[in-house]
């Protein structure tokens, strides 16, 4: 009897261990019995993280990742409304919402199958959105009204950012919103998947048309640059003319002040000379003659042709200053 107890205990312990299963954090479990997912009134029975029981030998457990998954889409070619090709690189954030439906539609919970089906849905909607827009709308975000001036008059020049905002109403964010809205319901209904986010990572032009696009962009930027330069030259001419006018005014005022000051000084000097002459005319005449002699005979090579009896030599011919006859 004691010998039979040991095998019975071993079998019982093995059956107990086979009936236990653990669902890890970040996962959800489903029990598959005879190829069918166990359910409660038609709703798949989903096991949360923790320790659970199943029927040994007949049941097997399938665990699915409940965390957010990232699907890196391949770079694909799209045609815009201008019939031009663009290369867009995307990614999708998704997670399983209906685990039973996901298990059935993906052939046993195969993530690769799910991403292939999900990518097809996303690309179809994105292709439709790209085909309804031009390149400049695809590559640009929405206009930022904060950068636009409240008013522009003749004296103001719009900046490059403001000019671009006025010319382009980008819809890149709108495209991503439309793709997310257009695929959320169908992905949940068909795959049991919730799309959390969709983004366009990179937008490139094919090599065969990049050069022509760059030439056109360069021509547009050069046109804007020429407009800015001409406006700058016009402003410079106005500023230069105003500066020259101010300079002329300052110089004229300075010259007027100098002339007035010089005239007043000459009048004051003449008055001083007149007062001095009236006090002693004889001495004043003598002093002026000495100054004239000094200036006339400063250079020994100078020759004067004058009458010796002229008034110029009156103080040389006569110590008293009288002219000799």
The domain locations on the chain are 2-65, 69-149+157-205, 281-317
* CA–CA separation, 292 and 323 (whole Å): 17
Predicted local distance difference test score (pLDDT) of residue 238? 94
Predicted local distance difference test score (pLDDT) of residue 156? 39
Instruction: Give the other-Cβ count within 10 Å of 170's Cβ.
Output: 19
Domain covering 69-149+157-205, topology: Tetrahydropterin Synthase; Chain A (3.30.479)
Q: pTM for the full model?
A: 0.55
Predicted local distance difference test score (pLDDT) of residue 224? 93
Low-confidence residues of the chain: pLDDT under 50: 144-168, 321-325
Give CA 25 to chain center in angstroms.
44
Predicted local distance difference test score (pLDDT) of residue 121? 93
Beta 69-72 vs 59-65: how paired, if at all?
unpaired
pLDDT digits (tens, 9 = 90+) for 17-47: 778 888 888 888 888 888 787 777 767 788 8
pLDDT digits (tens, 9 = 90+) for 88-141: 999 999 999 988 889 888 888 888 999 999 999 999 999 999 999 988 888 876
Distances (CA, A) of 263 to 223, 267, 270, 272: 60, 6, 10, 14
């Amino acid at each position: 009897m004691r010998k039979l107890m040991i095998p019975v205990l071993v079998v019982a312990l093995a059956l107990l261990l086979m009936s236990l299963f653990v669902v890890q954090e970040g996962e959800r479990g489903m029990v598959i019995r005879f190829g069918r997912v166990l359910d409660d009134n038609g709703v798949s029975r989903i096991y949360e993280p923790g320790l659970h029981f199943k029927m040994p030998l007949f049941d097997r457990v399938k665990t699915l990742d409940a965390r957010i998954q990232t699907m890196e889409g391949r770079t694909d070619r799209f045609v815009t409304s201008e019939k031009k090709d663009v290369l867009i690189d995307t990614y999708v954030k998704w997670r399983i919402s209906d685990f039973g439906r996901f298990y059935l539609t993906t052939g046993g919970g195969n993530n690769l199958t799910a991403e292939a089906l999900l990518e097809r849905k996303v690309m179809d909607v994105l292709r439709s959105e790209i085909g309804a827009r031009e390149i400049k709308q695809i590559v640009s975000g929405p206009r930022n009204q904060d950068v636009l001036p409240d008013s522009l008059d003749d004296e103001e020049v719009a900046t490059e950012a403001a000019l671009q905002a006025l010319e382009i109403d980008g819809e890149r964010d709108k495209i991503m919103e439309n793709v997310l809205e257009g695929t959320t319901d169908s992905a949940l209904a068909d795959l049991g998947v919730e799309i959390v986010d969709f983004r366009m990572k990179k937008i490139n032009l094919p090599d065969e048309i990049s050069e022509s696009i760059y030439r056109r962009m360069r021509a547009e930027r050069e046109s804007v640059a020429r407009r800015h330069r001409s406006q700058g030259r016009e402003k410079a001419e106005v500023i230069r003319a105003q500066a020259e006018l101010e300079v002329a005014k300052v110089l004229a005022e300075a010259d007027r002040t100098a002339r007035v000051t010089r005239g007043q000084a000459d009048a004051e000097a003449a008055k001083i000379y007149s007062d001095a002459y009236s006090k002693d005319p004889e001495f004043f005449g003598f002093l002026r003659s000495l100054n004239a002699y000094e200036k006339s005979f400063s250079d020994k090579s100078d020759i004067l042709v004058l009458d010796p009896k002229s008034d110029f030599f009156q103080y040389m011919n006569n110590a008293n200053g009288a002219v000799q006859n």
